[in-house]
Amino acid sequence: MRTVQISFGTADRATKFVDTMNGFNSHFDLNVGQYTVDAKSILGVLSIDLRKNVELKIFERDNEMDRIMDAIQPYILA
């Protein structure tokens, strides 16, 4: 498992993120405060406060980590 801090800012970016996550076999959780949602669920992701920083937990399958990290690079906080 790997954890990274990400940010969306807008619903459009969040929607694109969900589309990206659905391209992988791995499992992803988003944590905001006490709430956890499935990062592959558009309803779950849009239900969180998109202005806040979010913790993404990556539960890798099929050796996808390098591809995942490349795909989420635009969302990762520096």
Is pLDDT of 78 > 80?
Answer: no
Per-residue pLDDT, averaged over 41-52, amounts to 95
To the nearest whole number, what is the mean pLDDT of the chain?
96
- Quote the pLDDT of residue 36: 97
Is 90 exceeded by the pLDDT of residue 23? yes
Q: Give me the mean pLDDT over the 43-66 stretch.
A: 96
Residue 66 has pLDDT above 80, yes or no: yes
Question: Topology of 2-75 in CATH?
Answer: Histidine-containing Protein; Chain: A; (3.30.1340)
DSSP string, the chain: -EEEEE---SHHHHHHHHHHHTTSSSEEEEEETTEEEETT-HHHHHTS-TTS-EEEEEE--TT-HHHHHHHHGGGB--
The reported pTM is 0.93
